[in-house]
Structure 1
Amino acid sequence: MMNVKEMSMELKLSYIRENSEALIEEARHLGLDHREFLMLFLEREVLRRKENGIARRLRQARFTNRKYLEDFDKSKYPPEVRHKFDSLETLKFIDHKENIILMGTPGCGKSHYAVALGIKACMASKSVLFISIPNLIIELREAMSLNQVSNYKRNFEKYDLVVLDELGYVSFDKDGCEILFNLLSNRNDKGSIIITTNLAFERWEEIFKDTMLTGAIIDRLAHRAHIMDFSREISYRMEDTIAWLKSTN
């Protein structure tokens, strides 16, 4: 007959396999009956699986850094922006396959908020991809050279949420614009997108170089989208620099 560890391994119950003796001792110390003892085992196993799932989704999301809503200072934004935060943080926009477009000057908190929403989505069992738009174009070109564009598109469409960072820092040639347009068009209505950009819509033609293509991209992304202007007179990085300089004097 198999022992507890062997049966746990067979059933892929990793927490019980690693901690069975400690759990038995804890149950004995607490004077738990058989039902309570079983619940203790199962609750710890469920918790472990949830934690492992979150860790896996965070790895798969490919965040370049970790930013959290708890560290985001909402008080520094105007009322018309602040009143939208609570609604977005319910993550219902993902369930409804709605987009978010965060505009504003560099250093105004767009990427922080986008990443923080992405991390919250991972913790809520949503699949997420984070990638800068320049890197997205590079990956698409590589997929084209390997004849794997169809696979790339299918993978891109399967995420509950895709966070596209830094639209506007690099312009594209005609091929790059068409590749991006095709990718976003295929994903339209299949999942949510968050885009951060330092340019208002009227300046997107500077990136895409083509009036009709620019209009078509905006039309698709802005449909059923939450559009927010995060612009601030002083960026977070400048505030940090000023505070650092004061602390050194």
Structure 2
Amino acid sequence: MINPATVTKLHEMRLSAMAETFIKQTSSQEYQDLSFEERFGLIVDMEWARRKNNKLLSLIRKAEFRYPQASIEDIEYHADRKLDKGQILRLSTCAYIEEKRNLIIMGASGSGKSYIACAYGMTACRHYYPVKYIRLPDLLDELAVARGEGNFKKIMKQYKKVSLLIIDEWLLTPLKETQAMDLLEIVESRHQNASTIYCSQFAPDGWHEKIGEDTLADAILDRIVHDSYKILIDGAISMRERNGINT
């Protein structure tokens, strides 16, 4: 017989999955032959699974992926893309996050950089790492506003603690000196502390010119390039064209 007070207490303690499983067990004959330990184990397992799933959904929501359905399994290995499948799969273990190393994904517009980056981000979420996806123009705007409102240190702390930061549209256009200084703050705070994925149309050799001021450029590149894995996406046909997307 179900004790309503017990169910109420479980809900008050936010143990809704345990409450649901308890009701199911007491209402069904199929559990009557199980021992107390077996039945209690099933109740705990259900609550644990619910909480893990809720945590995963929360991580994905907070990451704000451009492609929240992206997955490593769905990456297309067309011959002209010249992707190293072995490297792609090795990186999907998230060992680079444990190593606190970076990943640079290079390719022309429409080559699928953002999709692959989001696929790695989704994999990181499934390993329960906090992830954040953002375009560099949006990041620079956010930092500029934070400086003006006196929240710069608070925003920097948020970007420092995320396990994997994905910066898309990396250095598409030249930076102002103030933007380069803000970018150095981000890069420095994460150097050897957390992993970052950089999606760029340009190889690192071309970043120096985009950053501008020599000292800042040297400092930023020194903290990114030397401990990064690199993926180069080739391809005579863009992924937009392959998939019939016109925009």
Query: Given the two structures, how large is their TM-score scaled by the length of structure 1?
Result: 0.89
**CA offset at residue 214 of structure 1?**
2.2
2:236 alignment partner, SS class: coil
Say whether the 8 Å CA contact 2:66–2:118 is kept in structure 1: no
Count of matched residue pairs = 241
2: distance between equivalents of 1:134 and 1:145? Answer: 17
| 1:106 and 2:109 are equivalent in the alignment | yes
Amino acid at match of 1:78: K
**CA offset at residue 158 of structure 1?**
0.6
- Equivalent of residue 222 in structure 1, options 210, 221, 225: 225
Say whether the 8 Å CA contact 2:21–2:43 is kept in structure 1: no
**Unaligned ranges ≥5, structure 2:** none
CA RMSD of aligned residues (A): 2.0
User: Which residue of structure 2 lines up, in the alignment, with residue 161 of structure 1?
Assistant: 164
Q: Deviations over 1:129-164 (max 9, x none)?
A: 111111000100111011111111111111111111
2:197 alignment partner, SS class: strand
User: Relative to 1, partners in 2 of residues 1:235 and 1:8: Cα closer, same or farther, differing over 3 Å?
Assistant: same
Q: Deviations over 1:10-61 (max 9, x none)?
A: 43212123453224335x3244222221111111100000011001111111
User: Which residue of structure 2 lines up, in the alignment, with residue 29 of structure 1?
Assistant: 30
User: Which residue of structure 2 lines up, in the alignment, with residue 232 of structure 1?
Assistant: 235
User: Which residue of structure 2 lines up, in the alignment, with residue 53 of structure 1?
Assistant: 55
User: Which residue of structure 2 lines up, in the alignment, with residue 192 of structure 1?
Assistant: 195
Say whether the 8 Å CA contact 2:103–2:198 is kept in structure 1: yes
| 1:72 and 2:89 are equivalent in the alignment | no
| 1:122 and 2:122 are equivalent in the alignment | no
**CA offset at residue 123 of structure 1?**
1.4
**Unaligned ranges ≥5, structure 1:** 245-249
User: Relative to 1, partners in 2 of residues 1:162 and 1:134: Cα closer, same or farther, differing over 3 Å?
Assistant: same
Say whether the 8 Å CA contact 2:67–2:115 is kept in structure 1: no
2: distance between equivalents of 1:73 and 1:39? Answer: 42
**CA offset at residue 78 of structure 1?**
2.5
Q: Deviations over 1:89-119 (max 9, x none)?
A: 1101101101000111111121111111111
Say whether the 8 Å CA contact 1:75–1:82 is kept in structure 2: no
Q: Deviations over 1:159-178 (max 9, x none)?
A: 11111111132332111111
2: distance between equivalents of 1:161 and 1:23? Answer: 41
Say whether the 8 Å CA contact 1:134–1:170 is kept in structure 2: no
Say whether the 8 Å CA contact 2:164–2:196 is kept in structure 1: yes
Query: Given the two structures, how large is their TM-score scaled by the length of structure 2?
Result: 0.90
2: distance between equivalents of 1:24 and 1:44? Answer: 15
**CA offset at residue 2 of structure 1?**
6.9
Identity across matched positions, percent: 26
Amino acid at match of 2:231: M
Q: Deviations over 1:212-236 (max 9, x none)?
A: 3223212111121101211222111
1:12 alignment partner, SS class: coil
User: Which residue of structure 1 lines up, in the alignment, with residue 14 of structure 2?
Assistant: 12
Question: 119-128 vs 197-206, which deviates more?
Answer: 197-206
Question: 119-128 vs 164-173, which deviates more?
Answer: 164-173
1: distance between equivalents of 2:86 and 2:97? Answer: 18
Say whether the 8 Å CA contact 2:171–2:210 is kept in structure 1: yes
Q: Deviations over 1:181-210 (max 9, x none)?
A: 122112211100011000112221342122
